Amino acid sequence: MASLRNAFKSNKAHRERHQPEARAHLGFLEKKKDYRERARDFNEKKGALKGLHKRALNKNPDEFYFHMIRSRMEEGEHVETPKEEECTPEQLKLMQTQDLKYIAHKRLVESRKIDKLQAQLHLIDAEKPNNHVFFVDTKEEVTSGVWMAEVVSGRSAPDRLGCLDGVIRQEQPINRVNTTLRLQQLRVAMSAVKLVRGAPLKAYIITSDDEHQTEMVSPSDKRRQYVTGFTGSAGTAVVTQHLAALWVDGRYHLQADQQLDCQWIVMKSGQDQVPTISEWLKSVLSSGDRIGADPKLVSADQWLEWRSELAESGIKLDAIQANLVDAIWNEDNGRPKPNPRPAFIHDIAYAGQTWQEKVGVVRNELKELGLDGIVVTALDEIAWLLNLRGADVPYSPLVKSYAYVSLQQVVLFVEPLKLKVAPIREHLDSDRCPREQPDDLCVEIRRYESVFNDLPRLTAKANSVLLPSRYAYSGGVSFAIYETIAADKRRTSPSPLILLKATKNAIEVEGMKNAHMKDAVALCDFLSLLQEQVHEGKEQWDELKVVHTLDEYRQQQDLNRGPSFSTIAAFGPNGAVIHYRPSMETNRIIDNSSFLIIDSGGQYLDGTTDVTRTFHFGRATQRQKEIYTRVLMGAIDLATLVFPDSIDDTRIDVIARQHLYSAGLDYLHGTGHGIGSFLNVHESPIQIRIYGKVGHHFEENYFFSDEPGFYQENEFGIRLESILRVINKTFEHQRDGRFLGFEVVSLVPFDPYLIVPELMTFKQLHWLNHYHAMVRIKVGEELKRQNRMRAFYWLMSKTRHITEPCHRSKNGSTGSINASSFISRIIIAALVSVQLAVALLMSS
């Protein structure tokens, strides 16, 4: 039976299963092995689901899982949402910088090893020179000239902060920028034939200028800053195929040393044995070498000077039309876009003169000089001439443009979008221009970039055209503009608009005074808050918070249009960097342990301000107080100076420095600069610099700064700055000639707790008490009017009368104080008591 049953089974037909619908594309029948695989997969998934259901029953219903918010359903599947980057863009940038620094560190370390090995290859004609010492037996062999004591390597490392023999130390300044990649890209561009239109360049010069030789340029024009990493407003970089150097003046010696990486040589202009750019290039290059620069970014005076000096050594300076920095710096790697905001009209209520009147004055100047026209490239001169303002340059209300003024026409080269507002074209009467009658004034508008093609045509019939030369802060025309005018027509001298603009009319004088009043209110209100919260310790303050908060306080004042420059808030060691700007890397907490310098200013429709005060919210040392007092004494002596109008600005600087000199101290910047009216904070012609090569004379209604200081490296800084107005001085028995003096316009008190009265003369203390009394009355009334009582009480404490020491006489020598001084102190004290009583009644 069993065999029969087995035989029957063997004859049983095998039945294949039909494919499921989802697998029909694989054929009509499903193989047994496929069925097993499918069944196993089904059972595994069923078991997994069963386990998940069991876990879900045991879960705490209130428990939170990030998966709940970090996943989403897409086509029936759970997809994890990418986790956001936890690091801020600043942190990521810092980490990338650290990586690049490590790469540069390793590269330089290996390079140093190679140099050491090559130095051991004595008397071999190696690529790099090496050291070798010959030993001799007698002095005769030394004097015979047949020996060589040492072959000095030409690759000795510069004396730089954090750099030693080309090896980067581990401790680097936190604000140092790695420029390895940028220098490599620039050097590649220097060898690109299509860019340089000829043989590769052996060196490339990068200035801080824009096309108008502006001191403070727009972010998109900061080419020198991009290449070097140095953020100061002035400096010139030179890059060769193997070296890189930056020339800076005394304001930036310390800052440049901190910000430049070890590939750069810091040329500290003004110090002994520091070569000029031409001298250095002649020492590192050879005859026949080719140097390049952008002719639009170099003044004509500077270009001609460089070209002449380099030609003495057979080195050629070529104008490279394609800017090499633009070739490596674009929007993809962080280059900002130009500001698109249009221009606007500067109202006659603040300007004091119509643009037609100003053009008439300029034409009279041209006639007196025997000229047919002038090319105006300085942005502040164009803004002043046509009563136009804009936003193309940070902190200065300027419009990027060129102008040509002749005896027959006025042409403005500007981007059309800048004048898209209809009132501007109506203001310039541009829609009905040109006109046949030269007396019927209008301004013809042409495109900004057409200036180089149109100037030759505009000046074709002229016999002489003035191309402004360099003068004080005015850079003059660029070499590119200089070349557009035929050589026989060129006339060069400082622009007559410089002095016209610097001499403020009656409306501008009053506006400047009003602007400084409003600025003093904002600054006093802010300082009262800062001092109160630092003393209480309830609110933490740092440098960046000071900058942002002070800007907000200024914006509360009528007619304010922002700061006039980037606010300097420098605490402790940061104050020793003369033109320090706080950043995320260098930001310091402010407490009562050191000095705080606040150097700031505002742009108002009726004027521009610039004021610096130094404070200490704790206990300053006696030495610190003495230095502060000496700085203040210099500022007072300059403010009280009376002198003949034949004395120029370079000759009065010593007045402000004399009290520091007597203690063996000094500072590495000028003592004063001109200031515009709703224009540049640095305005020509005034430059009070003891090291100045060209003097500039004062005229009535010039406004300028008085700002001596002192800086102790790695410890603190002190600077006191006020704006002065030039006035005529008359005397009862005046002899021939004109005498000038100054009137203080800034209205912010000095810190009485940092003053050592025993050091000061009677005249200085008398001026200080009179100044504080004036500030108390003028600013105090405005603070009360604006109901800023906290600031009012702060002002009262800072402007208290300082009693002259009894051993002082009027001239500062020993003696008793006279009766008139005693009576004046009683009167001032009485006025103070009355003001405080009134204020208390008002506040109650």
Q: DSSP secondary-structure letter at 611?
A: E
How far CA 74 is from CA of 45, 48, 71, 135, 227, in Å, comes to 20, 21, 10, 84, 47
Distance of CA 784 to the CA centre of its chain: 36
> Residues 315, 291: contact at Cβ < 8 Å?
yes
The pairing of beta strand 722-729 with beta strand 739-744? antiparallel
**Phi-psi category of residue 123: left, alpha or beta, with phi > 0 → left and psi -120 to 50 → alpha:** left
Question: Could you give the angle at which helices 762-785 and 622-639 cross, rounded to 10 degrees?
Answer: 90
Distance CA 517, CA 529 (A): 19
φ, ψ for residue 507, nearest 5 deg: -65, -40
pLDDT at 35: 77
Specify which residues 608 forms β-bridges with.
603
3-state secondary structure 655-673: HHHHHHHCCCCCCCCCCEE
* Phi, psi for residue 461 in degrees, rounded to 5: -90, -5
Which residues in the chain land under pLDDT 70?
Answer: 1-17, 26-31, 59-70, 78, 83-86, 90-91, 93-94, 97-98, 101, 112, 115-159, 164-171, 435-439, 806-844
- Dihedral angle, C-alpha 35, 41, 47, 50, nearest 10 °: -100
Distance between CA atoms of residues 365 and 361, nearest Å: 6
The single-letter code of the amino acid at 645 is D
Task: Give the sign of the dihedral formed by CA 829, CA 833, CA 834, CA 835.
Answer: positive
Separation between Cα atoms, residue 383 and residue 678, nearest integer Å: 10
Residue 174 CA to its chain's centroid (Å): 19
Comma-separated ranges of CATH 3.40.350.10 domains in the chain: 157-333, 344-501
Among the CATH numbers 3.40.50.720, 3.40.50.11290, 3.40.190.10, 3.40.350.10, which is that of 157-333? 3.40.350.10
**pLDDT at residue 144, as a whole number:** 40
Share of the chain above pLDDT 70, in %: 82
pLDDT of residue 137: 53
DSSP-derived secondary structure letter, 120 = T
- Please count the residues of the chain: 844
- CA distance linking residue 432 with residue 437, whole number of Å: 12
CA distance 250 to 731: 40
Give per-residue pLDDT as tens, 421-439: 779 999 999 988 876 565 6
What ranges in 503-587 are assigned the alpha helix state H?
506-536, 543-555
Residues 739 and 728 sit within 8 Å (Cβ to Cβ)? yes
**For position 835, what pLDDT does the model report?**
54
Rounded CA-CA distance 112/184 in Å is: 19
In whole angstroms, what is the distance from residue 239 CA to residue 165 CA? Answer: 20
pLDDT of residue 27: 66
Q: What is the dihedral of CA 671, 675, 681, 684, to 10 degrees?
A: -80
Name which CATH class applies to 506-760: alpha beta
What CATH number was assigned to the domain covering residues 344-501? 3.40.350.10
> Which residues fall within 8 angstroms of residue 697, CB to CB, at 6 or more apart?
645, 646, 647, 648, 649, 685
d(CA 227, CA 177): 10
Backbone Cα Rg of the chain: 36
Residue 542: other Cβ atoms inside 10 A: 15
Any idea which residue has 């008139």 for tokens? 820
Domain with CATH 3.90.230.10 in the chain: 506-760
d(CA 177, CA 179): 6
DSSP letters spanning 58-107: HS-TT---THHHHEEEETTEEEEPPPPP-S-HHHHHHHHHHHHHHHHHHH
- Residue 79 CA to its chain's centroid (Å): 48
Residue entry with tokens 């340059």 = 393
Q: Report the DSSP pairing between strands 560-563 and 602-604.
A: antiparallel
pLDDT at 17: 65
User: Tokens in use for 115?
Assistant: 């140099």
What pTM does this model have? 0.77
Task: Check the CA dihedral 685-690-695-698 and report its sign.
Answer: positive
Mean pLDDT of the chain: 86
Place of tokens 């149109």: 454
